[in-house]
């Protein structure tokens, strides 16, 4: 990464292992003082405007300063912050200001043909945020705690859990991320984050009405939580290339997250990346049919990363199970006033109702599409980003072993559930599927707050390899470092 305002059309630049030619469009976009960032993993050049680079540099600087101050803050002050945040968000008068900002963001997104599924700050989302703040308030977590002591003759070595530093987040455009971002304060860390541009107005209002006042009132440095007030993607690139970050967390899925992770890693920053979402469900030959139908229905209630995306059923029982899965998907759809879409693989369409057109709600509007289509095994890596119509693959397999092979070949190696009465089939999935999250029921349990009773900072899959010394849920108590402290009682100890 360097300032290269003199870069010209046709110049050859080595980015990672890729030699690229600078095109006219990119060269003409550069202004004096801009930063050009090469992304080694993709061989792409990214422009960071001077104003954005300056904003991010200053934001990380103040968060780093706040981190130093936070180390002397009383535990009670941090707990009070979360209590005040919950109180302020519960105040209807204050929330009306936030709601107005959110209505404006939603209307703007609709006018631009953008999805508003996660953007709307619903009563449930508000309540979930309040509960998350209170959960952080009540969590038994100390920023500095003794992990272990190794005793020697004349001296002891203590291992202490300690705060990590400044954590950078890039969130998708949904307002409830504040409970996640501010959670790092509980473990003594500070945060700088960028939120998707669709939700920026809502986010700035939450900062002004909830976060900043709560920080001031409890005596914590206001720069402990810094929102980047920028709609430009370049703000995320600049943030994740600032080597002063101790951890970079990218939430969401797709190429944007992969690129952000690559930027952080080439800057020497540890990264927690979600990668691609989409859960898998495998029915064994001993699957209880009613249990399978029930958990399919509950895995399709809304589209998030842990929604069922692929359901595998054994050929031997396809005639029995396929119609039940279709009915379960229709029940999940009926709650939303829609119909499900099923993409049949390996002949699954033979066991389903006759195909016909249905109304399918997309971000760009409602369109007519076939309810049942035929797909190929090679397409199973695709994650359906549906709006209102539950959409998933239904795959015929010979046995659990074939389903496991498909999962390891095509899935994002994220969530898998196995529905089987035979423990041997369940154990086969547990031992052979390369997934951090394995269950025997609905897939939507994969959530730090729901499963582990503490708000998550991010989920990580194994798409790019297993995680070092940690699980797939990144929570406030997992954002730490370890310091060693020696207490020597014998001054004559030597080597």
Q: Identify the pLDDT of residue 448.
A: 84
| Residue 302 lies inside a defined structural domain of this protein | yes
Q: Identify the pLDDT of residue 479.
A: 86
Question: Are both 288 and 335 inside the same structural domain?
Answer: yes
| Residue 387 lies inside a defined structural domain of this protein | yes
Average of per-residue pLDDT across 67-78:
95
Average of per-residue pLDDT across 414-421:
98
Beta pairing partners, 20: 13
Q: How many structural domains compose the chain?
A: 3
Domain at 293, CATH number: 3.40.309.10
Average of per-residue pLDDT across 377-383:
96
Q: φ, ψ for residue 310 (rounded to 5)?
A: -140, 130
| Residue 67 lies inside a defined structural domain of this protein | yes
Q: Identify the pLDDT of residue 411.
A: 97
Residue 214 has pLDDT above 80, yes or no: yes
> pLDDT confidence of 1, banded at 50, 70, 90?
low
Average of per-residue pLDDT across 292-321:
97
| Residue 362 lies inside a defined structural domain of this protein | yes
Q: Identify the pLDDT of residue 22.
A: 87
| Residue 469 lies inside a defined structural domain of this protein | no
Q: Which of 208, 224, 216, 206 is nearest to 167 (CA)?
A: 224
**Residue ending a domain, choose from 247, 275, 303:** 275
Residue 382 has pLDDT above 90, yes or no: yes
Question: Are both 146 and 257 inside the same structural domain?
Answer: yes
Question: Are both 266 and 285 inside the same structural domain?
Answer: no
Question: Are both 226 and 291 inside the same structural domain?
Answer: no
> pLDDT confidence of 116, banded at 50, 70, 90?
confident
Residue 208 has pLDDT above 60, yes or no: yes
Average of per-residue pLDDT across 281-296:
98
Residue 4 has pLDDT above 60, yes or no: no
Question: Are both 314 and 426 inside the same structural domain?
Answer: yes
Dist. CA 471–CA 478, nearest whole Å: 9
Residue 350 has pLDDT above 70, yes or no: yes
Question: Are both 262 and 371 inside the same structural domain?
Answer: no
Q: φ, ψ for residue 448 (rounded to 5)?
A: -60, -45
Report the half-sphere exposure of 186 (CA within 13 A, side-chain side).
27
Question: Are both 267 and 315 inside the same structural domain?
Answer: no
Can you give the residue range of the structural domain that contains 381? Answer: 279-447
More confident residue, 196 or 242: 242
> pLDDT confidence of 9, banded at 50, 70, 90?
confident
- Tell me the per-residue pLDDT of 463-479, one tens digit each, with 9 for 90 and over: 878 888 888 998 767 88
Question: Are both 94 and 124 inside the same structural domain?
Answer: yes
Dist. CA 147–CA 150, nearest whole Å: 10
Residue 26: both structure tokens together: 């990119």
- Tell me the per-residue pLDDT of 353-363, one tens digit each, with 9 for 90 and over: 877 899 998 87
Q: Identify the pLDDT of residue 117.
A: 78
Percentage with pLDDT > 90 across the chain: 71
- Terminal CA-CA length for the chain: 44
pTM: 0.86
> pLDDT confidence of 137, banded at 50, 70, 90?
very high
- Tell me the per-residue pLDDT of 11-44, one tens digit each, with 9 for 90 and over: 888 888 888 888 888 888 888 999 999 898 888 8
8 A C-beta contact, residue 293 and residue 326: no
Could you give the C-alpha distances from 176 to 92, 123, 167, 203, in angstroms and in order? Answer: 17, 11, 18, 9
8 A C-beta contact, residue 331 and residue 357: no
Q: Identify the pLDDT of residue 5.
A: 53
8 A C-beta contact, residue 84 and residue 78: no
Question: Are both 225 and 132 inside the same structural domain?
Answer: yes
| Residue 464 lies inside a defined structural domain of this protein | no
Q: Identify the pLDDT of residue 338.
A: 96
**Residue ending a domain, choose from 275, 306, 336:** 275
Q: Identify the pLDDT of residue 179.
A: 81
- Tell me the per-residue pLDDT of 231-252, one tens digit each, with 9 for 90 and over: 999 999 999 999 999 999 988 7
8 A C-beta contact, residue 241 and residue 263: yes
Residue 113 has pLDDT above 90, yes or no: no
Domain at 271, CATH number: 3.40.605.10
**Residue ending a domain, choose from 405, 422, 447:** 447
| Residue 234 lies inside a defined structural domain of this protein | yes
Question: Are both 400 and 377 inside the same structural domain?
Answer: yes
Question: Are both 61 and 199 inside the same structural domain?
Answer: yes
- Tell me the per-residue pLDDT of 445-467, one tens digit each, with 9 for 90 and over: 998 878 988 777 888 888 878 88
| Residue 468 lies inside a defined structural domain of this protein | no
Question: Are both 201 and 116 inside the same structural domain?
Answer: yes
Residue 127 has pLDDT above 80, yes or no: yes
Average of per-residue pLDDT across 96-116:
91
Average of per-residue pLDDT across 105-110:
92
- Tell me the per-residue pLDDT of 322-340, one tens digit each, with 9 for 90 and over: 999 999 999 999 999 999 9
DSSP state for residue 441 in the 8-state scheme: S
Residue 181: both structure tokens together: 């971002």
């Amino acid at each position: 990464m360097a300032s290269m305002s003199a870069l010209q059309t046709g110049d050859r630049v080595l980015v990672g292992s890729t030699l690229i030619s600078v095109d006219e469009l990119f060269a003409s976009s550069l202004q004096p003082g801009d930063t050009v960032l090469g992304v080694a993993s993709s061989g792409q050049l990214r422009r960071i405007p001077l104003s954005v680079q300056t904003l991010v540099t200053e934001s990380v600087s103040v968060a780093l300063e706040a981190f130093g101050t936070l180390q002397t803050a009383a535990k009670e002050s941090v707990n009070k912050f979360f209590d005040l945040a919950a109180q302020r968000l519960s105040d209807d008068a204050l929330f009306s200001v936030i709601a107005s900002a959110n209505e404006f963001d939603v209307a703007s997104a609709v006018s631009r043909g953008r999805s508003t599924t996660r953007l709307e700050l619903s009563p449930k989302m508000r309540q979930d945020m309040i509960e998350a703040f209170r959960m952080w308030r009540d969590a038994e977590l100390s920023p500095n705690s003794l992990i272990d002591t190794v005793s020697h003759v004349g001296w002891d070595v203590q291992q202490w859990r300690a705060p990590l530093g400044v954590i950078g987040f890039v969130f998708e455009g949904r307002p409830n991320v504040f409970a996640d971002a501010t959670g790092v304060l509980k473990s003594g860390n500070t945060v700088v984050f960028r939120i998707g541009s669709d939700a920026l107005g809502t986010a700035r209002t939450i900062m002004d009405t909830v976060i900043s006042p709560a920080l001031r009132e409890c005596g914590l440095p206001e720069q402990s939580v810094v929102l980047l007030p920028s709609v430009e993607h370049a703000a995320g690139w600049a943030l994740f290339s600032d080597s002063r970050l101790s951890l970079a967390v990218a939430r969401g899925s797709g190429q944007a997250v992969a690129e952000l992770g690559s930027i952080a890693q080439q800057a020497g920053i540890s990264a927690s990346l979600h990668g691609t979402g989409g859960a898998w469900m495998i029915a064994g030959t001993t699957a209880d049919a009613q249990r399978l139908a029930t958990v399919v229905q509950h895995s399709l209630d809304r589209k998030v990363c842990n929604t069922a995306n692929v359901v595998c059923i054994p050929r031997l029982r396809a005639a029995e199970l396929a119609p039940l899965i279709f009915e379960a998907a229709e029940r999940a759809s009926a709650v939303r006033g829609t119909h499900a879409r099923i993409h049949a693989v390996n002949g699954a369409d033979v066991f389903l109702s006759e195909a016909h057109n249905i109304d399918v709600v997309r971000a760009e509007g409602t369109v007519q599409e076939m309810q049942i289509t035929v797909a190929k095994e090679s397409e199973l890596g695709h994650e359906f980003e549906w709006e209102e119509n539950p959409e998933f693959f239904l795959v015929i397999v010979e046995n659990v072993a074939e389903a496991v092979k498909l999962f390891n070949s095509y899935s994002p190696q994220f969530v898998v559930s196995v529905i089987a009465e035979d423990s041997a089939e369940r154990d086969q999935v547990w031992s052979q599927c390369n997934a951090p999250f394995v269950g025997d029921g609905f897939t939507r349990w994969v959530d730090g707050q729901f499963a582990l009773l503490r708000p998550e900072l991010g989920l990580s899959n194994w798409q790019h390899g297993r995680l070092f010394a940690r699980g797939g849920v990144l929570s406030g108590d997992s954002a730490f470092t370890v310091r060693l402290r020696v207490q020597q009682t014998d001054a004559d100890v030597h080597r």
